[in-house]
Amino acid sequence: MMASVACIGECMVELRQAQGAGQSAGQSAGQGGGLYSRGLGGDTLNTAVYLARLDVKVDYLTALGDDALSDEMIAAWNAEGVGTRRVARLPGKLPGLYMIQTDAKGERQFFHWRDSAAARQLMSLPETDELLNSLMSYDVVYLSAITLSIYDAPGRERLFAAIKRARLLGTRFVFDTNFRARGWPDRDVAREVFAAAFAAADIVLTSTEDLLALYPGESHEQLMARIPTPELVFRLAEPVSLLRFPGGTSEVRAEPMTKPVVDTTAAGDSFAAAYIAARLGGSEPVEAAQAGHRLASLVICYPGAIIPGYAMPPKKRHRPASSRQATK
């Protein structure tokens, strides 16, 4: 039976400043301006899309409104092969919105409008119990720190309790530490939630960028020691991952880049997808990390989070493995 993954999170409407967009008449240099293109964006959604492209059966668990933009999201996910049967539709609600503004040097600045987004209510709906009970039917549950930041404390407790129940039946929990300070009331709350996620996870995907923002000044060894999970992938600032897994440790370096870096958006999201897909396919952690680096190195050569389908790397056959045992 094909292994399956539940990705939990939020997808938002994205407004991206068009490349080369100039200022309209009457605007000063300080006012910005220009044209914006509309798309969709979300860290766990990006991972879900890449998982589907890697032939992993994946469902996206979130809440949307009953508006035309939400309809567009559902259609786009279905077109990518991402399952939408676990998407709650809330009458009168809308998805969140964020805008990316780019300065003359190519530096990006993000602006968010998401306080009343439908996805924030996912843990407090009449259908929440049914959705959470469904986690037991998946081989892997994947979510990020951004996912956890959109729920309130009772919602997070409800989600963790469901994940613990699912793990008793063999579901693996993969936690990605994608940390964005603006999503948390303060860093103390974030540290508490991270500690709970670390304690519950089977696999943690993290980076120096994420952890040093929460634990400044600590060494790689100190940061890794904070995470008790049996399988850990720790990405450094350079394209290197430090791995810890039952029976050993390893350092995995990405192959040298042969093309210029265009946009680092979704580098971590695509790494996560390739890593999970490889582990579900029977690969050992080192081989899975190599797959993660390969896909991430390709993704950053294209603008935007999702690269064209034709640009995906050739699919590799993994060793056959029992779906419930593949990531253990």
Q: What pLDDT was estimated at residue 111?
A: 81
Domain positions in the chain are 4-10+43-93+121-311
Name the band, by pLDDT with cuts 50, 70 and 90, for residue 302: confident
Indicate which residues carry an active-site annotation: 269
pLDDT tens digit string along 95-123?
999 887 766 555 567 788 888 899 999 99
pTM, full prediction: 0.89
CATH class of the structural domain 4-10+43-93+121-311: alpha beta
Residue-wise pLDDT for 43-55, tens only, equals: 999 999 999 999 9
Residues whose CB falls within 8 Å of the CB of residue 168, separated by 6 or more in sequence, listed in order: none
In this prediction, residue 229 has a pLDDT band, given cuts at 50, 70 and 90, of very high
- Rounded to whole angstroms, what are the CA distances from 50 to 46, 55, 266? 6, 9, 10
Does residue 23 register a pLDDT over 60? no
**Closest C-alpha among 295, 301, 253, 256 to residue 273:** 295
Residue 27: what are its φ and ψ, rounded to 5°?
A: -100, 135
Question: For residues 84 and 271, what is the distance between their CA atoms, to the nearest angstrom?
Answer: 23
